[in-house]
Amino acid sequence: MNAPPDPEFSRNTRLWVPHWPVPVNEIMSQQRRGSSDPTYKVDFQGRHWRGIRTPEGVATLMVETRPREGRVYAAAWGEGADWALESVPALLGADDDPSGFEPKHQVIADVWRHHRHWRVGRTGLVLEALVPSIIEQKVTGQEAFAGFRNLVHRWGNRAPGPGHDLGVWVQPDAETLRNIPSWEWLKLHIDPARSKAVVTVARVAHAVERTATLAPADAGRALRSLPGIGVWTSAEVRQRAFGDPDAVSFGDYHVSKDIGWALTGTAFDDDELGEFLEPYRPHRYRVQALVGLAGLHRPRLGPRMAPRTHLPE
């Protein structure tokens, strides 16, 4: 009698027919943490690979767009394969409703015309979005992405199935995060303020994940009740895990300045951005995302946030 197939290496597939032309690359790239994100790869065929820790176990998810057929093909491996495949429509923005979004500025109208099929995707995985968002707090992108990469390579897991051979990784689980010694965090180039916040959320991981059932605004308030989680971090999580089209990244070093420059020719501060975006509720993040999709930003000629040099090698 043949043994049952190893669930870690079994493959499940899904063919999804969306009701609009889905720009898979634009939507899924929202989940990528820099070009060297070890949990996310795009192969030479343009297929997107993610290493995911689902509520049912780890999984490798592959998503491939077939625009001529108007279909999206997905395959998944690992214990969490079924969950990963079930999440594909939401991941690609099926739950996002852009109706009611009316560009009030010509630049936004032009960008929206070219990206009108873009949607805000949602993973439903709160800790997955929260950990790298904490690591990205108040540091340069270079330092943030390196810290996250170091964490995953040192304490994460290789993704199952072909994800392993492709070098795709899965973030460490909550128990692992809770037990990383303080000196090991420093070796990862993650300072005590950020590592303490990661450990804190890992200790209440079950409560954190339960916020996925809340409305985004309520979830944001619940997340901000945790030490080390502020407006910016909450917004970054709501964008990715909840698909919140109104979650603006206030407090970001670049966002307010870039949106102001792109739309008015003058860099904004957070207060000015808040006032400017108020008429766009409940689609304020959609404005931020469209400016980013269009690659609009102020000239990088002024002072920049410098990488810190005091952490140990």
Q: Which long-range contacts (CB under 8 A, 24 or more apart) does 248-257 make?
A: 248/273, 248/274, 248/277, 248/284, 248/285, 248/288, 249/285, 249/288, 250/274, 253/305, 254/297, 255/288, 257/298
Place of tokens 């969950």: 83
**Position 37 in a domain:** yes
pLDDT at 138 (0 to 100): 84
Q: Is residue 187 a part of any domain in this protein?
A: no
Residue 145 within a domain: no
pLDDT by residue for the chain (313 residues), tens digit each? 333 434 444 479 999 999 999 999 999 999 999 989 999 999 999 999 999 999 999 999 999 998 888 899 999 999 999 999 999 999 999 999 999 999 999 999 999 999 999 999 999 999 999 999 999 998 887 888 999 999 999 999 999 999 999 999 999 999 999 999 999 999 999 999 999 999 999 999 999 999 999 999 999 999 999 999 999 999 999 999 999 999 999 999 899 999 999 999 999 999 999 999 999 999 999 999 999 999 988 886 554 444 444 443 3
304 within domain boundaries: no
Query: Within a domain: residue 55?
Result: yes
Of 245, 260, 269, residue with least CA distance to 291:
260
Question: Which are the contacts of 19, defined by CB distance < 8 A and separation ≥ 6?
Answer: none
- Return the pLDDT at 144: 85
Number of domains within the chain? 1
Q: What does the pLDDT read at residue 139?
A: 82
Residue 216 inside a domain? The answer is no
Residue 122 contacts residue 142 (beta carbons within 8 Å): no
Task: List strands edge to edge, sheet with 48-54.
Answer: 11-16, 71-77, 57-66, 48-54, 40-42
Axis crossing angle, helix 126-135 with helix 141-155, rounded to the nearest 10: 130
State pTM to two decimals: 0.90
Judge if the upstream peptide bond of residue 282 is cis by omega within 30 degrees of 0.
Answer: yes
Residue 214: helix, strand or coil by DSSP? coil
pLDDT of 5 reads 39
Is residue 22 assigned to a domain? Answer: yes
Instruction: Determine the pLDDT at residue 143.
Output: 87
Burial 262-282 (b: 16+ CB within 10 A, else e): bbeeebbebebbeebbeebee
Could you list the residue range(s) of the whole structural domain that residue 39 is in?
11-96
Q: Answer yes or no: is 159 within a domain.
A: no
DSSP category for residue 173: P
**CATH code where residue 55 lies:** 3.30.310
pLDDT of residue 300: 67
